[in-house]
A and B are shown apart, each in its own frame.
Chain A
């Protein structure tokens, strides 16, 4: 989780990713960020996020994204 927060902090240092649950709804993350996140997650966790998981619910908070990564790691 810390490593994920670090990836996110690199993109937006001013956001509190531990508490924010509206990253998409409040337009904090945009399409450039999503592309970066997917590629960083792939590089660092060796997890490929498939198209059907690219939905707002999985990106609205760091926790949701972390749950997704763990779920994909287990598969």
Chain B
């Protein structure tokens, strides 16, 4: 687990982003559609080019290809591999872990248990509900033991009850694992329920400095005003 540092990160969408996400922190980024939130995640994951410097811990990752960055990235549409069962999706994520097959088997069992997927392990993604797919996608990302976790509106396709349940479960797992996380959403209530800190992005810029969400003076009215401004 490590901190994420962004120093003067720019590209066609992003404008001089400077941001630091602390070790083990869950930072939520909010902003209107087209603000550049997903672009920023894609830049951090290594799928889009940028200028400036991206660091994870002490490593500068700018020149690393995506598969060497150790970034877990849960995309909005999840992209579980449809030809593999839940268990095999997770196993594939452990393929390159430097440990024995026995250890991998134990880790896989732990991940399945952690995300309550034991009974769904043999199912393929098309036989899962929305919430189950969500859990499977997160389990797959965590199974690869990433240094940091990026989530792009992961609960946006779920109904309110399932999304609430998923948020609680995700927060508990994130705290237990202590994994540094950048979570993107446009839902303020979701941001406030999850975040250690919240940042606002608009037109490719971080236009609200990171604010402590818990016990801070953010009101329900303050951010929506800024969002729509």
Is chain B found bound to chain A in the same assembly? no
Which residues of B line the A interface, CB within 8 A? Answer: none
Which residues of A line the B interface, CB within 8 A? Answer: none
